[in-house]
Each structure stands twice: as structure tokens, then as C-alpha cells.
């Protein structure tokens, strides 16, 4: 993903300008009484992140990408009620057509009320934000940028298998492909197009895996594994899905995670949630580490789109925190 441009902002209908501090509607905030939230194991989530990295960079078209897809499908088949594979073709920034694969792991597939947790599973072919320009054409491991969110979802799947959700609630874990193939910084200006990012989510958001599919809301996880993350309220999430943001932030802060889940408004980010909101009409938020500062070259976590976005950046504590929040949100739904 990359920082969003204003053009994306105008694509989206702004439905709310809530500043995030107002209490939301009672119907959206009432927690179930005495609900048992099953334990999420941060170490297991870490192993799922490492497993993805061990395949090598999951660049579409590569063997590692193919092998990782097979592993996701096989493993998820052991956890979820139904696994859907959505194959698609997408034209990337330079005109090449690549094969993509969105993977959807459904729990309680017939339940009408559904929520989505999503992340992208491909990794960027270019480390074009690396301080050393000799690395710019090197594909990245994407331990944080991609694999971390998928690792949290894999652990959720493992836990949800043995701790059945209430049968009125369906959960879909969506692993989007081809999120991070956007034009590299050396590409000609004419090739830089916001729509060159999020190709898997664009495809799914226009044509879901089931006809007439609907979801109550979605949560996108992106870069949720580095130490000391900072998740401000991402701009488009706040503008389009403030009530989801409030629900999740309230949960996180009630668990003592105020330092990570801050109350500030974050930058607008061009990420998969944009298309889920705009094309599929699903209010979706992006939990994304915007831990950049003025000395850095991006608003993202320090090793964003560099060769150092590898397993060394992954902190079990962060995965545990995000997993705890996701489990509490889901099991209280």
C-alpha cells in the first residue's frame, strides 16, 4: 500500500465526520454478557508469519507465491468450514497480466450476519523505499507488510475451529492477492496510478466469491506485527466507517492498548479497504502501523518497502495484542 492521494478521497462517499470521541449507538456497543473469548496464541501467530516468510518473497508469478497459496489453502481447509479460491487475472502497472488468487476462509458460511477480517498475502516485488538504491529491484519478505496480518488471521482460524462461533454469526477471513504490485518509484510518471495497488481487493470488491454476498463490516489488518506500533485512526476508515473504528478502538483501549490504538486521526492510506468500501459497499477500517515520523521517508513503519521488512521486525507482543483485540471484537459480536 501507499499513502493515498486526494483522488482516492473523492472516489469515496463520505458518510460521517465523527471525530471518534462520541459514544456510538447502543446497539453497536452492547457487549454480550458472560461471553468467553478464546485465547489467541501470539507465538503461534508468529510461527504462521515465519512460515510465510520461509517460502521467500510471495511475488505473484513466483514459485514461492504458488507454494504459499497451496499452504494457505491446505491449512485453512483444516480450520474453516469452507475455503473459497477466487482466481483472477490482473493487469499490473507496466501492462503485464498476472494470475492472482484471493483466498476466503468462511466460518458459519450460511449465517446472514457476516464480518470480514482481511489482509494481503502477496509481498512487494520491489524494495523501492530502501535507503540503498541498489536494493530497489529486490523483492521483499514482507514479514510485516502482508505476512503479519495473514499470520493473525491464520491463528484466528486455528482458534475458531475449536471454539465455535454463535451460529448466527459468520466470519470470513479474506486473504487478498496483488495488493502490493503498484508502480515502483523509478517507473515513468504516466504509470503511477492509485488503481495499480490493491488489485485483488478491487477484483473481489466488484465480484464477490458468492453472488449477493453481504457483510456487516470489515477490518483490514496491514503491518500489525512490528514492535511498538502506532495505529492512529486511518483517515478513510474514520470518514467511511467511524462506527466500526469506534467499536474496535473502544475494545482495544478497554484492554489497555491505548498506546498503540491512539485517538489521533491518521493519514489517508490507499489500501484494500478503499475498494471494499467503495465498490462492495462494506464499511471497512484499516488497522495499519503509521509509525513514521518526519525524519523518515514514509508515514509507515520504519522498514516499509525495504529489504529489512523481514522476520526480525516481528514482535510476538504486537501480534498478541492485535489478536486479542480481534478475538474480543469477533466473539462479542
Any contact of residue 309 with Zn ion (CB under 5 A)? no
| Nearest approach, Cβ of residue 309 and Zn ion (Å) | 8
Region at 45 (left for phi over 0; alpha for psi -120 to 50; beta for the rest): alpha
Is the separation of the CB atoms in 271 and 220 below 8 Å?
A: yes
| Nearest approach, Cβ of residue 144 and Zn ion (Å) | 9
Any contact of residue 145 with Zn ion (CB under 5 A)? yes
Q: Pairing between strand 217-222 and 169-176?
A: unpaired
Identify which range of 172-180, 184-192, 238-246, 316-324 contacts Zn ion by CB under 5 A: 172-180
**Surface-to-core class of residue 253, CB atoms within 10 Å of its CB (0-12 exposed, 13-18 middle, 19+ buried):** middle
- Cα–Cα distance, 179 to 1 (Å, whole number): 7
Residue number, 171 or 269, with CB nearest to Zn ion: 269
| Nearest approach, Cβ of residue 260 and Zn ion (Å) | 20
Any contact of residue 155 with Zn ion (CB under 5 A)? no
Residue number, 289 or 333, with CB nearest to Zn ion: 289
Identify which range of 178-186, 230-238, 258-266, 267-275 contacts Zn ion by CB under 5 A: 178-186
Q: Which residues pair with 120 in a beta bridge?
A: 176
Contacts of residue 84, defined as CB under 8 A and 6 or more positions apart, other chains included, come to: 103, 104, 106, 209, 210
Q: What are phi and psi of 119, to 5 degrees?
A: -160, 170
Residue number, 242 or 288, with CB nearest to Zn ion: 288
Identify which range of 23-31, 139-147, 189-197, 324-332 contacts Zn ion by CB under 5 A: 139-147
**SS3 state at 89:** strand
Any contact of residue 180 with Zn ion (CB under 5 A)? yes
- Report which DSSP code applies to 226: B
Residue number, 299 or 329, with CB nearest to Zn ion: 299
Residue number, 128 or 315, with CB nearest to Zn ion: 128
Any contact of residue 128 with Zn ion (CB under 5 A)? no
Closest CA to 58 of 134, 1, 139: 139
Hunting for cell 483517515 — which residue is that?
235
Is the separation of the CB atoms in 105 and 157 below 8 Å?
A: yes
| Nearest approach, Cβ of residue 27 and Zn ion (Å) | 36
Any contact of residue 130 with Zn ion (CB under 5 A)? no
| Nearest approach, Cβ of residue 145 and Zn ion (Å) | 4
Residue number, 181 or 235, with CB nearest to Zn ion: 181
What is the contact surface with Zn ion in residues (CB under 5 A)?
145, 180
Amino acid at each position: 500500500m501507499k499513502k493515498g492521494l486526494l483522488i482516492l478521497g473523492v472516489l469515496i462517499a463520505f458518510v460521517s465526520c465523527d471525530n471518534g470521541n462520541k459514544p456510538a449507538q447502543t446497539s453497536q456497543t452492547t457487549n454480550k454478557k458472560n461471553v468467553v473469548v478464546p485465547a489467541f496464541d501470539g507465538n503461534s501467530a508468529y510461527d504462521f508469519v515465519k512460515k510465510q516468510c520461509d517460502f521467500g518473497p510471495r511475488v505473484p508469478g513466483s514459485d514461492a507465491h504458488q507454494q504459499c497459496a497451496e499452504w494457505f489453502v491446505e491449512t485453512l481447509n483444516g480450520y474453516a468450514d469452507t475455503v473459497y479460491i477466487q482466481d483472477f487475472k490482473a493487469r499490473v502497472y507496466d501492462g503485464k497480466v498476472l494470475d492472482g488468487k484471493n483466498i476466503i476462509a468462511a466460518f458459519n458460511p450460511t449465517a446472514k450476519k457476516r464480518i470480514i477480517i482481511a489482509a494481503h498475502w502477496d509481498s512487494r516485488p520491489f524494495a523501492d523505499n530502501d535507503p540503498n538504491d541498489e536494493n530497489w529491484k529486490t523483492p521483499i519478505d514482507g514479514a510485516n507488510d502482508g505476512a503479519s496480518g495473514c499470520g493473525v488471521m491464520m491463528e484466528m482460524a486455528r482458534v475458531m475451529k475449536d471454539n465455535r462461533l454463535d451460529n448466527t454469526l459468520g466470519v470470513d477471513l479474506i486473504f487478498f492477492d496483488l495488493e502490493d504490485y503498484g508502480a515502483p518509484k523509478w517507473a515513468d510518471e504516466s504509470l503511477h496510478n492509485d488503481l495499480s495497488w490493491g488489485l485483488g481487493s478491487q477484483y473481489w470488491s466488484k465480484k464477490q466469491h458468492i453472488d449477493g454476498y453481504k457483510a456487516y463490516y470489515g477490518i483490514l489488518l496491514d503491518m500489525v506485527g512490528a514492535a511498538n506500533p502506532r495505529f492512529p485512526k486511518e483517515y478513510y476508515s474514520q470518514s467511511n466507517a467511524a462506527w466500526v473504528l469506534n467499536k474496535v478502538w473502544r475494545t482495544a483501549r478497554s484492554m489497555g492498548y491505548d498506546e498503540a490504538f491512539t485517538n489521533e486521526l491518521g493519514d489517508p492510506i490507499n489500501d484494500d479497504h478503499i475498494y471494499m468500501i467503495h465498490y462492495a459497499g462494506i464499511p471497512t477500517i484499516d488497522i495499519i502501523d503509521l509509525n513514521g515520523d518526519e525524519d523518515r521517508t514514509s508515514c509507515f513503519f520504519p522498514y516499509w518497502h525495504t529489504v529489512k521488512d523481514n522476520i526480525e521486525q516481528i514482535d510476538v507482543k504486537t501480534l498478541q495484542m492485535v489478536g486479542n483485540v480481534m478475538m474480543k471484537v469477533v466473539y462479542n459480536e
